[in-house]
Amino acid sequence: MEQRTEIASMGEFGLIEHLTKNIEVKNASTLVGVGDDGAVIDHFGRQTVLSTDLLIEGIHFDLSYTPLKHLGYKSVVVNLSDLYAMNATPTQILLSIGFSNRFSVESLDEFYAGVYAACETYNVDLIGGDTSSSQKGLIISVTAIGEVAPNSFVKRGGAQVNDLICVSGELGGAFLGLTLLEREKKIFEETGAQPDLEGQKTIVGRLLKPEARKDIIEYFTESNIVPTSMIDVSDGLSSDILHICKQSDKGCVLYEDKIPFNEEAKEFAYKLKLDPTACALSGGEDYELLFTIAQEDYEKIKSNPSVSVIGYIADASEGKHIITRGGNKHALVAQGWNHIK
């Protein structure tokens, strides 16, 4: 039988010490980390970018099919993605968790193993946080801190008419992974049948272990590109391009045949009788970067196989549209993920 250590047997400070005992500082900007009343960072003349996220069991994740280690990893990555969307380099995180008594020390160790794996992958320091008991379920709050060269940060509101709309990677996979896992959960609850994930590693991985696009930000620096606007694709392509349009006071035109899909995901969408384009437009949780660049930067971006040009920014008076494969024009509607609903 697996060992189970009750969290109460350690007390709060004992637990924090246990969970953070092996931290090694990676960044020169981390002056004081875990173990004092506060952390101290110094970004040496660079500007500081901050972002925070709250993840609540039953709203943002389902532990019936989410391994705790994957959840720890994803909790960090979704925050780092927001910093990359500001053109910043993440350097530190703060992590707070609330947990009910159904969690043991061993289960928190699993969660933190994922957190540390993400910190290692993205070269980020865990510098503090808090732990608390909660009445039910798991509550996770992560604050990410990063740095950017003075005034090189990129906001959602800088898109200009005729700018090219670009996106990294492939879209729709995470939504399909969620659809598959939710289907198998329902079958298991109704019949007790063991889940059949049909060998769909790609889309399940997209949901359970997403990656943030550090490589794209590094490419911008190397290629001397500063996007005019940027956002990470967390709510679905349509919702997120509409955020850029609203903040920039512009319109847009997207081309359905330019939206990048993973072939395996596309085949699976057809199998489920879902439209891959709808999965990309409304799905969310892909954590790709959606950004706009001036037309003169096209030559610099076209050689990057991870970037697709999917449309252009138009004047606000032209509205926001998608041109289908058949050449029809449809208004873009925000049907993305809304966790307040």
Find all residues with CB under 8 Å of 134, minimum gap 6, and list them. Answer: 98, 99, 100
Which residue type does 244 have? I
Domains of the chain: 7-148 (3.30.1330.10), 164-331 (3.90.650.10)
Which alpha helices (DSSP H) does the chain contain, by range?
11-20, 68-84, 105-122, 173-191, 201-208, 214-223, 237-248, 263-271, 276-282, 298-301
pLDDT of residue 51: 96
Helices (H) and strands (E) in the chain, counts: 10, 13
Contact 87, 158 (CB under 8 A): no
Provide the residue count of the chain.
341
Put simply, whether the predicted model's pTM sits higher than 0.75 gets the answer yes
User: What distance in Å separates the CA atoms of residue 231 and residue 74, rounded to the nearest whole number?
Assistant: 18
Contact 330, 321 (CB under 8 A): yes
Element spanning 50, H or E: strand 47-56
pLDDT of residue 338: 47
Spans of the chain below 50 pLDDT: 337-341
Q: What percent of the chain has pLDDT over 70?
A: 98
- CA-nearest of 43, 36, 54, 146 to 95 is 54
User: What distance in Å separates the CA atoms of residue 180 and residue 336, rounded to the nearest whole number?
Assistant: 18
> DSSP code of 265?
H
**Separation of CA 197 from chain center:** 23
Bridge partners, residue 56, by sequence? 139
User: What distance in Å separates the CA atoms of residue 129 and residue 112, rounded to the nearest whole number?
Assistant: 13
Element spanning 97, H or E: strand 89-99
Contact 198, 288 (CB under 8 A): no
- CA-nearest of 145, 156, 24 to 83 is 145
With H, G, I as helix, E, B as strand and everything else as coil, classify residue 41: strand
Q: Tens digits of per-residue pLDDT, 184-198? A: 999 999 998 888 888
- CA-nearest of 262, 266, 258, 206 to 233 is 206
Sign of the Cα torsion 328, 329, 330, 336 reads: positive
User: What distance in Å separates the CA atoms of residue 63 and residue 66, rounded to the nearest whole number?
Assistant: 5
Sheet with 329-331: strands ordered across: 229-232, 289-293, 164-168, 307-314, 251-255, 320-323, 329-331
Which residue type does 98 have? G
